[in-house]
């Protein structure tokens, strides 16, 4: 019998069957069920339609108003009200909306509800972000999640695993965003279809937790069902900071079987930009030097962390957003917003001429708070750049890390961040 991958081990520990060989159908009990103001109302309707009287465990359900929050119209307000009412009716304490919450995937980790070996079920494709914490985040449809709300379990197929072996350390202005953009460039947007991406190797230690989140978040853009990072001392310490009890890190067996093993040397990477209309269309930032931008957007469940805001502030300190360019910066959670304020980052960012938003998913998916008009171009730290993703079908979105996005805001066009940092700052 061959060894097991991290994915197989975590799934087996939560499976009714007690085992999880690839290709098998198992029934999994999650640690947390996560819903937002878009997916939640659909699940609540099905929950009631199936005759369920109460959720399986209110303490393990998290409801977050983040997509259409603050509500931009009456329909959105109704969806949030429905989410709020479900939380009230069923005694769900973990209900979060503007002012005390944030973007669901970042918030869930901040709350200390995801760590070594845990499983999150979410009705959002970027639930895979949980993989950064040596956990599994698995996305399901809203109807499926209605069943999970009622029963505390769902059946699923165990995917194959693809190992991504990281080595070395990234150079200047290269971040976790570049790691995942390079991987998707290599394997394509369906290269990990029907598989789990497993990130391991000595290079993992070179990535901070925020950067691991940026990598894990976009596993779905490579077609993966889920992803997971090896647990290490850094992830264990992070659990402690978030008030979680210690839990042993889950690691793959030395003889684990993989569908594919990909070697990725971090020191060989450059800052990347994914051209529209696909996250798989990545090139080095230098290849797009001179590409004009109308809007710069820093935020989203992949890159609205303190790490990202510090990078933005480093670029903007003593500089200004270029004339004709608008910049929108969105901290991922209220706690991050407050920490950025305490560190003086928001003063630097707003002083440079950028708008700072309350935490929301709004503009990322073309909902509100930064929609693009016909013919406009944006560079964003978001995770998708399909046609019409952030607004008009005739707009276009380039994806990049926070260093590159902030540099474009100052230059008015895409350029390597070291070129902007070499510009003299005004005190």
- Share of residues in the chain with pLDDT > 90 (%): 98
Q: pLDDT at residue 427 above 70?
A: no
Alpha helices in 218-363 (DSSP H): 233-241, 306-316, 334-342, 345-351
* pLDDT tens track for 290-320: 999 999 999 999 899 999 999 999 999 999 9
Cα–Cα distance measured from residue 357 to residue 44, given in angstroms and rounded to the nearest whole number: 29
Q: pLDDT at residue 102 above 60?
A: yes
- Same domain? 288 vs 258: no
321, 353 in Cβ contact below 8 A? Answer: yes
Domain assignment of residue 426, yes or no? no
- Same domain? 230 vs 278: no
- Same domain? 124 vs 169: yes
Domain assignment of residue 77, yes or no? yes
Domain assignment of residue 204, yes or no? yes
Domain assignment of residue 156, yes or no? yes
Q: Which two structure tokens, joined as six digits, stand for 292?
A: 């004009």
- Same domain? 55 vs 104: yes
Of 7, 68, 35, 10, nearest to 150 by C-alpha is 35
- Same domain? 230 vs 316: no
Domain assignment of residue 358, yes or no? yes
User: Predicted confidence band at 424 (pLDDT cuts at 50, 70, 90)?
Assistant: confident
Domain assignment of residue 1, yes or no? no
* pLDDT tens track for 268-286: 999 999 999 999 999 999 9
* pLDDT tens track for 177-235: 999 999 999 999 999 999 999 999 999 999 999 999 999 999 999 999 999 999 999 99
Other Cβ atoms within 10 Å of 49 Cβ, number: 10
Percent helix, strand, coil in the chain, to 5, is 35, 20, 45
- Same domain? 262 vs 295: no
Domain assignment of residue 427, yes or no? no
* pLDDT tens track for 20-32: 999 999 999 999 9
Q: pLDDT at residue 425 above 90?
A: no
pLDDT of residue 423: 86
Q: Residues near 154 by Cβ (< 8 Å), separated by ≥ 6? A: 27, 28, 30, 121, 140, 144, 147, 148
Over the chain, what is the mean pLDDT?
Answer: 97
- Same domain? 164 vs 226: yes
- Same domain? 379 vs 414: yes
User: Predicted confidence band at 1 (pLDDT cuts at 50, 70, 90)?
Assistant: low
Domain assignment of residue 27, yes or no? yes
Structural domain ending residue among the three candidates 266, 295, 323: 266
The stretch 58-79 carries a mean pLDDT of: 97
- What CATH number has the domain bearing residue 330? 3.30.499.10
Helix (H) or strand (E) holding 179: helix 176-187
- Same domain? 260 vs 329: no
pLDDT of residue 272: 98
Distance of CA 318 to the CA centre of its chain: 30
- Same domain? 223 vs 304: no
- Same domain? 189 vs 322: no
Structural domain ending residue among the three candidates 266, 301, 334: 266
pLDDT of residue 100: 94
Range of the domain at 278: 273-421
Distance of CA 268 to the CA centre of its chain: 24
Q: Which two structure tokens, joined as six digits, stand for 303?
A: 């890159």
Report the number of distinct structural domains present in the chain.
Answer: 2
- Same domain? 378 vs 232: no
Structural domain ending residue among the three candidates 266, 300, 327: 266
Scanning the structure block, which residue is given the tokens 């197929």?
157
């Amino acid at each position: 019998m061959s060894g097991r991958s991290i994915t197989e081990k975590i799934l087996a520990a939560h499976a009714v069957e007690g085992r999880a060989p690839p290709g098998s159908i198992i029934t999994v009990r999650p640690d947390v069920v996560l819903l937002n103001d878009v997916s939640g109302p659909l699940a609540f309707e099905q929950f009631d339609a199936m005759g369920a009287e109460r959720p399986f465990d209110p303490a393990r359900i998290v409801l977050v108003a983040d997509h259409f929050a603050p509500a931009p119209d009456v329909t959105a307000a109704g969806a949030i009200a429905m989410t709020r009412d479900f939380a009230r009716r069923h005694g769900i304490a973990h209900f979060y909306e503007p002012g005390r919450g944030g973007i669901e995937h970042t918030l869930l980790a901040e709350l200390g509800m995801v760590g070594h070996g845990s499983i999150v079920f979410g009705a959002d494709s970027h639930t895979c972000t949980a993989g950064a914490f040596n956990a599994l985040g698995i996305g399901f449809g809203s109807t499926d999640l209605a069943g999970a709300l009622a029963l505390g379990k769902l059946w699923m197929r165990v995917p194959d695993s693809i190992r991504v072996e990281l080595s070395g350390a990234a150079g200047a202005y290269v971040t976790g965003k570049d790691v995942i953009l390079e991987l998707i460039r290599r394997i394509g947007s369906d290269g990990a279809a029907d598989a789990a991406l497993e990130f391991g190797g000595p290079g993992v230690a070179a990535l901070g937790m925020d950067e691991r989140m940026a990598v894990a978040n976009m596993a779905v853009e490579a077609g993966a069902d889920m992803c997971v990072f090896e647990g290490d001392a850094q992830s264990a310490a992070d659990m402690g900071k978030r008030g979680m009890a210690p839990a042993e890190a889950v690691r793959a067996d030395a003889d684990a079987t993989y569908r594919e093993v990909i070697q990725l040397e971090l020191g060989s990477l450059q800052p990347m930009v994914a051209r529209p209309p696909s996250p798989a269309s990545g090139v080095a930032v230098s290849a797009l030097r001179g590409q004009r931008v109308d809007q710069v957007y820093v935020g989203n469940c992949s890159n609205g962390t303190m790490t990202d805001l510090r990078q933005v502030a480093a670029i903007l300190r003593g500089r200004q957003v270029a004339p004709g360019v608008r910049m929108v910066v969105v901290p991922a959670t209220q706690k991050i917003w407050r920490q950025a304020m305490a560190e003086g980052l928001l003063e630097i960012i707003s002083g440079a001429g950028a708008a700072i938003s309350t935490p929301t998913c709004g503009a990322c998916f073309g909902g509100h708070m930064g929609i693009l008009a016909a013919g406009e171009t944006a560079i964003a730290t978001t995770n998708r750049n399909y046609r019409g993703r952030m607004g008009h079908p005739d707009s276009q979105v380039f994806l990049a890390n926070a260093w590159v996005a902030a540099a474009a805001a100052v230059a008015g066009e895409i350029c390597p961040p070291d070129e902007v940092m070499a510009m003299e700052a005004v005190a």
